[in-house]
Amino acid sequence: MLIAEGVGVVRGERLVLQDIDLALRPGELTAVLGPNGAGKSTLLGALCGELQAQTGRVSLDGRLLSRWPPLERARRLAVLAQHSSLGFAFAVEEVVAMGRLPHASGREHDQEVVDQAMRSTDIMHLRTRSYLKLSAGEQQRVHLARVLAQLWPGGQGQVLLLDEPTSSLDPRHQYQLLDVVRTFVERGGTALAILHDLNLAARYGDKLVLIAEGTVRSAGSAEQVLVPERVQQVFGLEVLVQPHPERGHPLVIAR
């Protein structure tokens, strides 16, 4: 379990996050929501150890994240950044295979994992293509396959952090990507995804966390978090919220 306790982050002279308490549990997908500049990406940076918290602590399975040896931590925690880029013309298959670098599981097994990760993200047909010649959405799916290969097949104790993973994807691949993440958590893994689409968060999130001005404004189920008054307060948007006609989760409609 990945736990943040009283986490505060200062960037420059600005307090970007303050008093963040968050527990990411096995078998759960946590969806983080909030307006631009709310501190969502800073939170993810603190959770993965990229950013140093000035107050509080982040721990993985009871051990401070900073005390995990890099290779051991990489076998347990993977991050899909908001903007992942490569400047060299690697083939797609080679990019996905980078996810296996923390492991010493043998070439044959690594190739099996890479193939499975590419199938799960619908990029097998791109395997020999140059990464630099792909669209932004295709590149995003390649990086998802890379982080999945890093943790494959997923399970208890493994954590996947995703920063706006659907931002460059068409609607079909948005749902497909989050279906893959759901499969990851159903195997016992832990996942957090920063999302802007309230309805995707309601459909896929086991727990929603609403952040504004560096603090958690609400956390809980979609029904608890996505109430019209709170959405208007945080996003400045008047909405209707009603049950999805087939799935039953909250459906948010702009007025």
Mean pLDDT, residues 69-93 taken together: 90
CB neighbour list of residue 48: distance below 8 Å, 6 or more residues apart: 65, 77, 79, 161
The amino acid at 59:
S
pLDDT of residue 238: 96
Helix, strand or coil, per DSSP, at residue 58: strand
pLDDT level of residue 84 (50, 70, 90 thresholds): confident
Q: Give the residue numbers spanning the domain of 164.
A: 2-254
* Distance of alpha carbon 112 from alpha carbon 11, whole angstroms: 42
Q: Which of 81-90, 162-171, 243-252 has the lowest average pLDDT?
A: 81-90
Task: Identify the CATH number of the domain in which residue 206 sits.
Answer: 3.40.50.300
Summarised one tens digit per residue, pLDDT across range 66-75 is: 999 999 999 9
- The whole-chain average pLDDT of the chain stands at 95
pTM of the predicted structure, to 2 decimals: 0.95
How many domains does the chain fold into?
1
Mean pLDDT, residues 74-93 taken together: 89
